[in-house]
């Protein structure tokens, strides 16, 4: 009788241990999903479309502590995941170029980045935690009415855009003035996309957008108009199109990855909290890097989720 009890106890212990091992955070799973976070205003007060600088700072701390590291949107689209082993890539996006995203202030006669603007908060956090990485995409509006025209402060626009690009941040197309692309014919749609690039190139010569975030999440009648083309002598090419919502994005190595329909998560308290809890609980759904950008590490049970057309020379490693 006692022997049976001991055996039962041992079996239970083994089962608990086994479940812990398979769900252990840090086990590489490069077909798990990735959060592309979508911020709008960084300002006061906290609102549906506004995150305060303090709450934004708290988001970064939470992400860092829970093992997330910044990855650029381009790297995600290319399937070039470079975050360290055991960590999860996360992509930051900022829509609508509102003033609180990037503001200069004058202090003691010197121009400096407002520490309460999104860029200021992010840069300060990166200084404290350099291993968090540095990446974000700003979906800007070059011809919107103020205050959404390229972060407001017209006298500093060139300086801001160049600074962002020099630091490795990305600029993305969000049309010229937030046009609802579902409402217009082909000529207007293409004009909006090409002109947005031309207007940004006045500040950063030759800069080419690689990604497009749809205003209001609305696709044009024909998706090909948004992907590539030429209008008024300017050619544009978007490798990815981002939506307004939809949850975490499939891994770029997953058969479900669709760069033309990339979902995002609105970075508000409820959504962020929901998905952070979800990924803490469901390790199989969470992308965890193996630290090697040339391999795709997958648990054996998830092997069939890998896409058949992996970019060369990527190779699959079963874990
Ligand atoms: Zn927008």
Q: How far is CA 85 from CA 25, 80, 199, in A?
A: 11, 14, 40
53-65 vs 118-128: helix crossing angle, rounded to 10 = 30
Predicted local confidence at residue 19, as pLDDT:
43
Predicted local confidence at residue 22, as pLDDT:
41
Measured in angstroms, how far is the CA atom of residue 41 from the centroid of ligand 1? Answer: 10
Q: What is the pTM of this model?
A: 0.92
Q: Which of 276, 310, 277, 279 is nearest to 296 (CA)?
A: 310
Share of the chain above pLDDT 70, in %: 92
Predicted local confidence at residue 1, as pLDDT:
56
Measured in angstroms, how far is the CA atom of residue 174 from the centroid of ligand 1? Answer: 7
Chain center to CA of 45: 24
Whether the pLDDT of residue 2 is over 80: the answer is no
Measured in angstroms, how far is the CA atom of residue 299 from the centroid of ligand 1? Answer: 38
Q: Is the dihedral of CA 79, 81, 87, 93 positive or negative?
A: negative
Measured in angstroms, how far is the CA atom of residue 178 from the centroid of ligand 1? Answer: 6
Predicted local confidence at residue 18, as pLDDT:
45
Whether the pLDDT of residue 23 is over 50: the answer is no
DSSP secondary structure letters along 187-213? HHHHHHHHHHHHHHHTTSTT----EEE
CB 256 within 8 A of CB 34: no
Beta bridge partners of 296: 316
Measured in angstroms, how far is the CA atom of residue 282 from the centroid of ligand 1? Answer: 31
Measured in angstroms, how far is the CA atom of residue 39 from the centroid of ligand 1? Answer: 10
Within 10 A of 112 (CB to CB), how many other CB atoms are there?
11
d(CA 188, CA 131): 43
126: CB partners within 8 A, 6+ apart: 132, 133, 134
Mean pLDDT of 272-280: 97
Mean pLDDT (the chain) is 93
Measured in angstroms, how far is the CA atom of residue 284 from the centroid of ligand 1? Answer: 32
In this prediction, residue 57 has a pLDDT band, given cuts at 50, 70 and 90, of very high
Measured in angstroms, how far is the CA atom of residue 255 from the centroid of ligand 1? Answer: 29
Measured in angstroms, how far is the CA atom of residue 283 from the centroid of ligand 1? Answer: 32
Length of the chain counted residue by residue: 319
d(CA 258, CA 223): 13
């Amino acid at each position: 009788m006692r022997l049976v009890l001991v055996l039962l106890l041992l079996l239970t212990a083994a089962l608990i241990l086994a479940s812990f091992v398979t769900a252990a955070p840090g086990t590489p799973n490069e077909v798990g999903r990735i959060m592309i976070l979508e911020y709008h205003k960084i300002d006061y007060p906290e609102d549906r479309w506004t995150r305060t600088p303090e709450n934004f700072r708290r988001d970064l701390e939470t992400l860092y502590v829970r093992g997330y590291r910044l990855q650029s949107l381009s790297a995600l689209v290319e399937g070039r995941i470079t975050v360290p082993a055991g960590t999860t890539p996360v992509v930051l996006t900022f829509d609508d170029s509102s003033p609180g995203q990037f503001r200069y202030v004058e202090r003691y006669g010197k121009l400096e980045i407002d520490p309460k603007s999104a860029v200021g908060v992010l840069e300060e956090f990166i200084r404290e935690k350099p291993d968090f990485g540095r990446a974000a995409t700003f979906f800007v509006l070059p011809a919107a009415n103020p205050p959404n025209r390229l972060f407001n402060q017209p006298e500093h626009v060139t300086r801001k855009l160049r600074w962002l690009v020099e630091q490795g941040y990305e600029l993305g197309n969000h049309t010229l003035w937030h046009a609802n692309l579902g409402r217009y014919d082909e000529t207007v749609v293409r004009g909006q996309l090409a002109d947005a690039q031309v207007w940004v190139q006045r500040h950063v010569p030759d800069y080419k957008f690689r990604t497009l975030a749809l205003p209001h999440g609305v696709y044009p009648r024909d998706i090909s108009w948004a992907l590539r083309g030429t209008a008024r002598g300017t050619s544009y090419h978007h490798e990815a199109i981002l939506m307004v919502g939809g949850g975490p994005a499939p891994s770029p190595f997953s058969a479900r990855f669709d760069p033309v329909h990339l979902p995002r998560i609105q970075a508000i308290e409820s959504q962020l909290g929901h998905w952070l809890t979800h990924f803490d609980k469901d390790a199989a759904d969470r992308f965890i890097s193996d630290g090697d950008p040339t391999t795709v590490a997958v648990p054996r049970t998830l092997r069939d989720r890998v896409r058949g057309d992996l970019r060369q020379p990527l190779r699959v490693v079963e874990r």
